[in-house]
Chains A and B, each alone.
Chain A
Amino acid sequence: MEIKKSAIAGTLESSDAQVVVDPGENGIELTIQSSVINQFGPQIKAVVLETLQRLGVTSGKIAIVDRGALDCTIKARVECAVYRSNDQVDNLPWGGAIQ
């Protein structure tokens, strides 16, 4: 998939993460801010990159502000932001690209 326009998913509540995606030409440009960066920074990065790869996103700006979300939440927020950037809000591939 392609990040076609700016889109957002998630909140800044505790145990959630806010994901903002923007179109970009230079591969994946990822920034992560997290309240648990010292303990889970690399883990968060790995989950985001793996999710983007599964969605087939190869280029774009992804900014995560994490408030201690679990992996499942981070995945869901990334998936949601990417589909919103494509204006796809139904016929979602549950169990396929979305896991």
Chain B
Amino acid sequence: MINRAGREIPDELLEKYGKEGYQGMNYRDSSSYKKAAPVVRATVDPKRSKMVSSIREALEKCGIRDGMTLSFHHHFRDGDYIVNMVMEEVAAMGIQDITICASSLGAAHDPVADMIEEGIVTGIQSSGVRGRIGEAISYGKLKTPAIIRSHGGRVRAIEEGDVHIDIAFIGAPTSDEYGNARGVGGKSDCGVLSYSMVDAQYADKVVVITDCLVPFPNMPASISMVDVDYVCVVDAIGNPAKIVSNVIRMTKDVREQMMAEYCTQLIAESPYFKDGFSFQTGAGGASLAVNMMLRPILEEKGITMSFAIGGITKPMCDLLDDGFVKCIVDAQAFDMGSIESIKHNPNHYEISTSQYANPMNKGAFVNKLDFVILGALEVDVDFNCNVVVGSDGIVRGAPGGHPDTAAGSKCSIIVAPLVRGRIPTICTRCTSVTTPGEAVDIVVTEYGIAINPLRADLLEAYKDSSLPIRTIEELRDEAYRITGAPRPIEFEDQIVGIIESRDGTIMDVIRKIKEVTI
């Protein structure tokens, strides 16, 4: 079938997975389902300890065997040691056919690529894939297609039972001996444990791994003892230098500054820019710059934000401290400043990823979002965005909260340079679709701004603006004039990845890359 994003999804695949193709942003609104549930082994005997002496012992006690699904979170980002630590032990035990269900995987997990070749890992389900794992997927080494989901979509898939986690491994900066775990304290501070909350509640077995055991009770706990089977203390759960960025500075890149200025003016002239508006930015150069450029306008107009959300950085915490934001709801802390803020500012709250973005709960924060600023690898003339597959066909990206916030917010703004090297960002047809065009409202490039024609209200709102507003086709033509029109990438028939829409329908498939000879 051809789905609502204009992508061809093979019928056999839909049949095999019991799925439908993507049918529009609100297709599953009001639909009901019964949540999945874990198998729970009760702790009745108060004398029984949850402590295990090693990862090996944890795996043995959890009954690890071939074919299981193991889950991980990515709050330690490129500093994560947990995935490799657990998977090395799994490999050493001779276990095969493991599916890794992670909130994201990055360059820190390159060793997993070898395990894919060896058949130890045969399934990947993640909200991000970079580094060698992405290459292994793209060249068809993984035995089953990788399933890529947004942050909200991952929670949905676990809660609806599309994926059942046998053992969840939760790296925690601090834990007590009964499994009350927190994202703050210790030596591998990551601020929050939002991504792993759903894992703790839906996995059959839950193992907390920490490098800082604290006295009972470790409160307030992000992960509660009521969900935890075992606690394992190791020397180090991550490299603190890579878990957080130290200081994020204002970009000096003039192109990013120019896009940030356009974006700031767009927001300031928007009908949604009024007291009590809500806002999410990423950690990219241009988005951060918008954060800083907005401050004097907020000051001048006497406007405060009701809430800021997302991946949080210090510039947003500074706005909180100075009274420009009423509260921050945090699902990931990106830098030292945001971790300090969540420790000390009572209006800075940790939320679960379900609260953040799950489309199939009874209402998530993204639905209350006014503005979100996002990036993209490619945006096509239908405003579809690709944030997962490089223009060369290799999987190297992360949907993260992109499809969730774009769909939930009143005004989603994509900020991206018109061309990167020789690759046009604005193109005729995306290599792959992650976020459907109907969820994307405005695209900002350094050559001009395009408003989605579906948003007649926004076109009207900006009709007298001094901003360089053009059509998306004009931006595409400008890009192609500079780079030349790219040839469509050639793929084999083999499907190596499935991009799931946040509601569980299929947005797109990724095929095996074909080697080009010229």
CB-defined contacts of B484 to chain A, threshold 8 Å: 40, 43, 70-71
Q: Which residue of B lies closest to A42 (CB)?
A: B518
| CB-defined A-B contacts under 8 Å, sample of 11 | A15-B421, A36-B422, A38-B487, A38-B489, A39-B423, A41-B487, A41-B516, A43-B484, A44-B518, A69-B422, A70-B483
Contact of A65 with B by CB under 8 A: no
Contact of A37 with B by CB under 8 A: yes
Name 4 extra pairs, CB < 8 A, besides A38-B489, A40-B422, A70-B422: A38-B392, A38-B490, A40-B486, A43-B487
Contact of B393 with A by CB under 8 A: yes
Contact of A32 with B by CB under 8 A: yes
Instruction: Determine the distance from Cα of A39 to Cα of B424 in the docked complex, in whole angstroms.
Output: 11
CB-defined contacts of A42 to chain B, threshold 8 Å: 487, 518
Distance between A17 CB and nearest chain B CB, rounded to angstroms: 10
Contact of A88 with B by CB under 8 A: no
Q: Tell me if B518 and A68 are in contact (CB < 8 A).
A: no
Contact of B391 with A by CB under 8 A: yes
Contact of A26 with B by CB under 8 A: no
CB-defined contacts of B393 to chain A, threshold 8 Å: 38
Please classify the interface of chain B as helix (H, G, I), strand (E, B), loop, or mixed, using the class held by over half of its residues: loop
Where the two chains meet, the residues of A that have a C-beta atom closer than 8 Å to any C-beta of B are 14-15, 32, 35-45, 67-71
Instruction: Determine the distance from Cα of A40 to Cα of B516 in the docked complex, in whole angstroms.
Output: 10
Q: Tell me if B487 and A68 are in contact (CB < 8 A).
A: no
Distance between B199 CB and nearest chain A CB, rounded to angstroms: 37
Q: Tell me if B486 and A68 are in contact (CB < 8 A).
A: no
Q: Tell me if A70 and B482 are in contact (CB < 8 A).
A: yes
Q: Tell me if A40 and B487 are in contact (CB < 8 A).
A: yes
Q: Tell me if B518 and A45 are in contact (CB < 8 A).
A: yes
Choose among A39, A43, A69, A71 the residue that contacts B489 (Cβ–Cβ < 8 A): A39
Among A39, A40, A45, A69, residue most surrounded by chain B Cβ atoms (within 10 Å)? A39
Distance between B75 CB and nearest chain A CB, rounded to angstroms: 31
CB-defined contacts of A41 to chain B, threshold 8 Å: 487, 516, 518
Distance between B297 CB and nearest chain A CB, rounded to angstroms: 35
Instruction: Determine the distance from Cα of A39 to Cα of B484 in the docked complex, in whole angstroms.
Output: 10
Distance between B76 CB and nearest chain A CB, rounded to angstroms: 29
Q: Which residue of A lies closest to B483 (CB)?
A: A70
Instruction: Determine the distance from Cα of A88 to Cα of B281 in the docked complex, in whole angstroms.
Output: 54
Instruction: Determine the distance from Cα of A67 to Cα of B518 in the docked complex, in whole angstroms.
Output: 17
Instruction: Determine the distance from Cα of A14 to Cα of B421 in the docked complex, in whole angstroms.
Output: 7
Instruction: Determine the distance from Cα of A69 to Cα of B483 in the docked complex, in whole angstroms.
Output: 9
CB-defined contacts of B482 to chain A, threshold 8 Å: 70
CB-defined contacts of A69 to chain B, threshold 8 Å: 422
Instruction: Determine the distance from Cα of A15 to Cα of B486 in the docked complex, in whole angstroms.
Output: 16
Instruction: Determine the distance from Cα of A67 to Cα of B486 in the docked complex, in whole angstroms.
Output: 15
Instruction: Determine the distance from Cα of A28 to Cα of B486 in the docked complex, in whole angstroms.
Output: 25
Distance between A6 CB and nearest chain B CB, rounded to angstroms: 24
Q: Which residue of B lies closest to A14 (CB)?
A: B421
Q: Which residue of A lies closest to B485 (CB)?
A: A43
Distance between B328 CB and nearest chain A CB, rounded to angstroms: 36
Among A14, A15, A40, residue most surrounded by chain B Cβ atoms (within 10 Å)? A40
Q: Tell me if A36 and B423 are in contact (CB < 8 A).
A: yes
Are A68 and B392 also in contact (CB < 8 A) when A38-B489, A41-B518 are? no
* B 352-373 to A, binary, CB cutoff 8 A, 1 in contact else 0: 0000000000000000000000
Instruction: Determine the distance from Cα of A45 to Cα of B517 in the docked complex, in whole angstroms.
Output: 11
Q: Tell me if A36 and B421 are in contact (CB < 8 A).
A: yes
Instruction: Determine the distance from Cα of A45 to Cα of B423 in the docked complex, in whole angstroms.
Output: 17
Q: Which residues of chain B in 243-257 are interfacial with respect to chain A, using CB atoms and an 8 Å cutoff?
A: none
Instruction: Determine the distance from Cα of A18 to Cα of B315 in the docked complex, in whole angstroms.
Output: 41
CB-defined contacts of B422 to chain A, threshold 8 Å: 15, 36, 39-40, 68-70
Instruction: Determine the distance from Cα of A71 to Cα of B422 in the docked complex, in whole angstroms.
Output: 9
CB-based closest 7 A-B pairs: A68-B421, A39-B486, A68-B422, A41-B518, A38-B489, A38-B392, A36-B422
Distance between A40 CB and nearest chain B CB, rounded to angstroms: 6
CB-defined contacts of A35 to chain B, threshold 8 Å: 392, 421
* B 451-487 to A, binary, CB cutoff 8 A, 1 in contact else 0: 0000000000000000000000000000000111011
Instruction: Determine the distance from Cα of A14 to Cα of B119 in the docked complex, in whole angstroms.
Output: 36
Distance between B475 CB and nearest chain A CB, rounded to angstroms: 18
Instruction: Determine the distance from Cα of A83 to Cα of B505 in the docked complex, in whole angstroms.
Output: 58
CB-defined contacts of B392 to chain A, threshold 8 Å: 35-39
Q: Tell me if A68 and B423 are in contact (CB < 8 A).
A: yes
Q: Tell me if B421 and A38 are in contact (CB < 8 A).
A: no
CB-defined contacts of B513 to chain A, threshold 8 Å: 38
Are A67 and B421 also in contact (CB < 8 A) when A39-B391, A39-B486, A39-B489 are? yes
CB-defined contacts of A37 to chain B, threshold 8 Å: 392, 516, 518
Instruction: Determine the distance from Cα of A73 to Cα of B490 in the docked complex, in whole angstroms.
Output: 26
* B 116-146 to A, binary, CB cutoff 8 A, 1 in contact else 0: 0000000000000000000000000000000
Q: Which residue of A lies closest to B486 (CB)?
A: A39
Distance between B237 CB and nearest chain A CB, rounded to angstroms: 35
CB-defined contacts of A70 to chain B, threshold 8 Å: 422, 482-484
